[in-house]
């Protein structure tokens, strides 16, 4: 494995943990992870990058070793604010190569339309978004949030780091023993009772009272000026949240139509965590796209 180094910086008042791979001063690839993941997840992709790159991968607020926000609900726009501040810190005034997976892909897709001058090239890994909503759902959604506030969510604990690794492999059967053993201590930490706690604020599991407004998101996608690479996994589980495959496929393709300059790839023999399943092929695609 390529060596990584850790750094802590203050981003919008929170102590934020950042992973680095590669040479300082080399072209930057900024990589942001998905929900219930950590920046260390990009280790396997970094291992397979052949060129001279500086990979920067933060832990989002309330994940990994980044400080929790001390709130009962996390708000999606805060990820945009954090990303903007991190890019100002690491690449002030310069456009960057920006990659996001899943939730991170949703963040970078919106950001690239809001701040088009800050993005040189954009890579979206399975950042499909959420099902469209309608205003009529608002009363029920607000009630769901209020009800959830009465019963704060909790994170499950595990008896050992090996049990955490096994849990990762249960979620992703393609994950090898070696990769699961690497990820488990980045994904969890021992508590005072000797159990292993997931390094994610339980408040991330709280539902949002705000409806997902897809047309606003698509307005941001339409404003993207950078070339975009869109990568899906052949065995993605996105149908679990996007709905039945035939209808969801039509909706995903409609959304892709809002991107002016996009190339699409389907990753064979990979699930939603495609950066774990096929890191060598993903690294090849990334470098080919960024060096065009």
Q: What is the CATH number of the domain that holds 272?
A: 3.40.50.1820
Q: How many domains does the chain have?
A: 1
Confidence (pLDDT) at 128:
95
In this prediction, residues 118-147 reach a mean pLDDT of 97
Stretch 8-32: mean pLDDT: 97
Instruction: Determine the 3-state secondary structure of 197 from DSSP.
Output: strand
Q: What mean pLDDT is reported for the chain?
A: 97
Confirm whether 197 is domain-assigned.
no
Q: Which residue has the tokens 């488990």?
A: 184
Structural domain range at position 242: 4-134+213-290
Which residue intervals of the chain are DSSP H helices?
43-48, 77-90, 103-114, 138-149, 161-171, 177-187, 214-222, 239-242, 245-256, 274-277, 279-290
Residue 39 lies in a domain: yes
Instruction: Classify residue 76: in a domain, yes or no.
Output: yes
Q: What is the pLDDT of residue 55?
A: 98
Residue 96 lies in a domain: yes
Question: According to the model, what pLDDT value does residue 6 have?
Answer: 97
Tell whether 241 is covered by a domain.
Answer: yes
Distance CA 175, CA 165 (A): 9
Question: Has residue 169 been placed in a domain?
Answer: no
The predicted pLDDT at position 285 comes to 98
202 within a domain of the structure (yes/no):
no
Half-sphere exposure of 212 (CA within 13 A, CB side): 14
- Judge whether 206 and 72 are in contact, CB under 8 Å: yes
- What's the pLDDT at 272? 97
Q: What is the pLDDT of residues 177-194, one digit of tens each?
A: 999 999 999 999 999 999
Give the pLDDT confidence of 25-59 residue by residue, as tens digits: 999 999 999 999 999 999 999 999 999 999 999 99
- State how far the Cα of 288 lies from the Cα of 20, in Å rounded to an integer: 21
Token output for 56: 């920067």
Angle at 97 between CA 94 and CA 99, to 5 degrees: 140
Kindly state whether residue 102 falls inside one of the protein's structural domains.
Answer: yes
Confidence of residue 72 (pLDDT cuts 50, 70, 90): very high
């Amino acid at each position: 494995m390529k060596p990584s180094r850790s750094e802590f910086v203050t981003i919008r008042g929170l102590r934020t943990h950042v992973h680095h791979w590669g040479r300082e001063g080399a072209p930057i690839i900024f990589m942001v992870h998905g929900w219930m993941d950590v920046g260390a997840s990009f280790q396997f992709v970094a291992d397979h990058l052949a060129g001279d790159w500086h990979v920067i991968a933060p832990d989002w607020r309330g994940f990994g070793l980044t400080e929790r926000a001390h709130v009962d609900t996390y708000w999606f726009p805060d990820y945009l604010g954090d990303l903007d501040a991190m890019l100002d810190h690491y690449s002030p005034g310069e456009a960057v190569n920006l990659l996001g997976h899943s939730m991170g892909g949703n963040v970078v897709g919106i950001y690239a339309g809001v701040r088009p001058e800050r993005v040189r090239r954009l890579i979206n890994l399975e950042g499909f978004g959420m099902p469209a909503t309608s205003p009529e759902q608002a009363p029920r959604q607000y009630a769901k949030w209020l009800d959830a506030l009465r019963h704060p969510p909790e994170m499950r604990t595990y008896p050992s780091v090996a049990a955490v690794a096994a849990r990762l492999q249960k979620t992703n059967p393609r994950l090898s023993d070696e990769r699961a053993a690497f990820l488990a201590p980045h994904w969890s930490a021992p508590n005072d009772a000797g159990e292993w706690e997931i390094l994610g604020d339980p408040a991330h599991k709280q539902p949002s009272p705000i409806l997902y407004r897809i047309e606003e998101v698509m307005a941001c996608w339409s404003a993207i000026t950078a070339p975009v690479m869109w990568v899906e996994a052949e065995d993605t589980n996105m149908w679990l949240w996007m709905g039945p495959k035939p209808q969801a496929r039509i909706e995903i393709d409609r959304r892709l139509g809002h991107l002016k300059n996009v190339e699409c790839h389907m990753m064979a023999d990979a699930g939603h965590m495609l950066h774990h399943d096929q890191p060598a092929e993903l690294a090849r695609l990334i470098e080919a796209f960024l060096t065009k």
